[in-house]
Structure 1
Amino acid sequence: MYVISGAECFDPSPRGHLDLLVAGSEVVAMGESGSFDAVGELAEAERVDARGKLLMPGIVDALTHPCGGGGEGGFGNRTAEIDVETFVRAGVTAPVGALGTDSIGRSLEVLYGNVMGMRRQGLNAFMLSGAYRVPAPSLTGDIARDVYLVSPVVGVGEVAIADHRGTQPTAQELRRLAAETQLGGILAGEGGTVLVHVGAGESRLKLLRDALEGSDLSPSVLYPTHVNRSTALLDEAADWALRGGFVDITVSTTPELIAAGDITSERALRRLLEAGAPAEKITLSSDAGGSLPVYVDGELVGLTAASPDSLPELLLSLHSENPDLFPVALAGMTRNPAAALKLADAGAIAVGGRADLLLLDPAAGAVESVMAGGQWLLRRGEFLL
């Protein structure tokens, strides 16, 4: 049992200075500072002095590649697997794993093993079936069955559109895939979303609009990511959010990609809000482990790997320099992606909810402590697994 006291609390909405009582795997009570002093004295509760810290839900990273990514450009361009410590040090307690371009040299079975390994070590990890390709690869031979029967599977992705690396799906193919995925989620009571990788092609989100036209599907079933690839795409993303869909900003980038037209996450967030996009429909993910290709005259000349560290780095930067965007970005890394992927117990601090908690130290500019399921995985900068 833990009494966490003195921190400025975000649930992810700002709640002021609150104390939390954690017992077992859950948050069992929240109250004003000093509310649980007697509990700390009478029970076997450890008091955690969090004065000067920011207490918030653990990050829900809606797109990660724990078994590595890349592969375009040949065998020497595959990125490495991501270990649990990397996610924990970034404050990510609910990574959502996916395949990308390469679903031949990498498999859903390997991804499943990575995700289940992270669960065994305490993270609230999930995965997506499928990959860039359509028809989408699956674990059971059927996408709806994957979502319904395989517990960490909460959807399909990242399915590529507007990208030469994809299989150029038609609107009818995407509509059918979305319907199958949604069916699995309805039956399972969780998940059922298609995460859509949007490339640099001029068609941008047209295929999403075409897939919905004449169907009974909600825009929220199709969840586009990398929407900060260009201003034109970002403006279409604002319209998608206004129609009721979720849109995802990729926080990891490189100077080369920004020079080529990528919009930084801070600028993208502000532009979406100024265009009228509802804040609750905006998410931010790291694309951790995914390759960040560097092209010169259309030729791949190198790769770097995206990192989950980009997420807490953005939060700390906004807290000090653009505090008006801080709670919006925090919700975009916690409550909103949990809603987009229909995750039942992630992305919020609530009484009776899973105790996935993150303590940020704004003075040190660092992730200080991370709790997952009521257990400390990182304590005062020390990794405990």
Structure 2
Amino acid sequence: MRSYLLRGGDVFSPEPLGRCDVLCVGERIAAVGDLGGVCLPDLEVVDVSGLVVLPGLIDNHVHILGGGGEGGPATRTPELSVEEAFRSGVTTVIGVLGTDDVTRSVASLVAKSRGLAAEGMSAWVMVGSYQLPVATLTGSIRSDIALVEAVIGVGEVALSDHRSSQPSFEEFVRLAAAARVGGMLKGFGGKVNVHMGDGPRGLEMLRRAARETEIPVDQFIPTHVNRNPKLFDEAVAYALEGGVVDLTTSTTPVFLAEGEVKCSLGLRRLLDAGVPVERICFSSDGQGSLPDFDPEGNLRGLTVGGVGSLWEEVRDSVLSEGVPLERAVPVATSSPARFHRLPRKGSVAEGFDGDLLVVDQDLRPVHVMSRGSMAVRDRELIMRSTFSRR
């Protein structure tokens, strides 16, 4: 069994642990601390002195099958590759469908997640899409979550968006109740990922669910809440009331010029407002389309989101917004792991998976480990997808 000893790095678990060694045996972290005398067969020692050791990144909203299609078949975006993820320090993804549940399906989504897992990543998925009722594999949301290994929740369900199926309140809360019970039966979060559009209703459906039902407010994760100032301000209030919010890191200069709140700035503002970091997540919307619609809903242009934006926004939070590293890193590690109840994810600790991101003092990735194996070594990609392996 191959083992790695990362020697002498500045470890953030994501809480700061100081200078430590990290021992990975097989797929797991076996020990963290002063491990000077360790001796194992097939042990490779990697000197990480002067570097910073962090948990591998969890991207909890990725269109692993690709997304888009709002401008016709030629605008369908490509699938996620492990190369792109590993280069960016992403070792775990949660896959979703979006607008297009016609040419893409939950079955294909599950198959893609299994392919990513075979190529060295950790991958789960959400059942459903923008549209309700949800198309399931087994006939019900509860049984999909409880019985299909890869499925851990529902999403992304669209609200306040012209592409939404415009669900009724009753339809929406029944979906959330089914997801919650399915999650309880499985031992995962059973969360509902909610795509938030630009519509004037904003988060009202979620706040109404908290007021009028017994479903906990943190059963939902509204995403794209930084898409405009009004929605972001509403998201701050929602998080202070106990909700969890997800900021999208992929963006364009046009979106920012139109008022989108940059994630790094959004994190600082949320923290300054008193929102606990445990209620804040970043996700990339990787491989999803970033469509630019005019006020009448006509498509003016489209680009593609990238998982690389996840770490870049965490990095900007530290270097540009002055957020301490130990308060920035959780939004892409421990916070999504805790929220979705992902086993053995989100921390540099004994018994956790050997998912590690090692960065230099400028917070640029140097090494990446996924499930105890080197995916990137000295900035060189080691692990590749099946059809690009040499």
Q: Classify the TM-score, shorter chain.
A: over 0.9
For 1:320 and 1:51, how far apart are their aligned partners in 2?
Answer: 21
Q: Secondary structure at the match of 1:38?
A: coil
Question: Does the 8 A contact of 1:39 with 1:45 survive in 2?
Answer: no
For 1:171 and 1:362, how far apart are their aligned partners in 2?
Answer: 49
Mean alpha-carbon deviation: is it higher for 289-298 or for 162-171?
Answer: 289-298
For 1:384 and 1:64, how far apart are their aligned partners in 2?
Answer: 22
Tell me how far 1:43 sits from its aligned partner.
Answer: 4.8
Among 25, 45, 69, the residue aligned to 1:23? 25
Tell me how far 1:273 sits from its aligned partner.
Answer: 1.9
Tell me how far 1:151 sits from its aligned partner.
Answer: 0.7
Tell me how far 1:329 sits from its aligned partner.
Answer: 2.2
Q: Deviations over 1:137-180 (max 9, x none)?
A: 21212111111011111101110000000101111111100000
For 2:155 and 2:377, how far apart are their aligned partners in 1?
Answer: 33
Aligned to 1:261: 259
User: TM-score normalized by structure 2?
Assistant: 0.94
For 2:308 and 2:159, how far apart are their aligned partners in 1?
Answer: 27
Counterparts of residues 55-66 of structure 1 (less than 5 Å): 55-66=53-64
Aligned to 1:359: 358
For 1:201 and 1:297, how far apart are their aligned partners in 2?
Answer: 11
Letter paired with 2:9 = A
Tell me how far 1:326 sits from its aligned partner.
Answer: 3.0
Aligned to 1:150: 148
Letter paired with 1:379 = R
Q: Secondary structure at the match of 2:226?
A: helix
- CA RMSD in angstroms comes to 1.5
Counterparts of residues 336-347 of structure 1 (less than 5 Å): 336-347=335-346
For 1:66 and 1:90, how far apart are their aligned partners in 2?
Answer: 15
For 1:317 and 1:209, how far apart are their aligned partners in 2?
Answer: 31
Tell me how far 1:222 sits from its aligned partner.
Answer: 1.0
Task: Flag structure 1 segments of 5+ consecutive residues without an equivalent.
Answer: none
Among 103, 108, 111, the residue aligned to 2:109? 111
Among 192, 206, 209, the residue aligned to 1:208? 206
Task: Give % identity.
Answer: 41
For 2:32 and 2:338, how far apart are their aligned partners in 1?
Answer: 23
Mean alpha-carbon deviation: is it higher for 305-314 or for 194-203?
Answer: 305-314
For 2:295 and 2:214, how far apart are their aligned partners in 1?
Answer: 42
| Alpha carbons of structure 1 residues 320 and 222: separation in structure 2 relative to 1, 3 Å | closer
Tell me how far 1:54 sits from its aligned partner.
Answer: 1.4
Aligned to 2:8: 6
Counterparts of residues 97-108 of structure 1 (less than 5 Å): 97-108=95-106
Structure 1 residue ranges (4+ consecutive) displaced by more than 4 angstroms after TM superposition: none
Aligned pairs, number: 380
Letter paired with 2:210 = L
Mean alpha-carbon deviation: is it higher for 195-204 or for 327-336?
Answer: 327-336
Q: Deviations over 1:296-336 (max 9, x none)?
A: 45431221110111122223334434443432221000000
Q: Secondary structure at the match of 2:115?
A: helix
Q: Secondary structure at the match of 2:242?
A: coil
For 2:315 and 2:8, how far apart are their aligned partners in 1?
Answer: 19
For 2:295 and 2:76, how far apart are their aligned partners in 1?
Answer: 21
Among 44, 47, 52, the residue aligned to 2:45? 47
Q: Secondary structure at the match of 1:370?
A: strand
Tell me how far 1:372 sits from its aligned partner.
Answer: 1.2
Q: Secondary structure at the match of 1:228?
A: coil
User: TM-score normalized by structure 1?
Assistant: 0.95
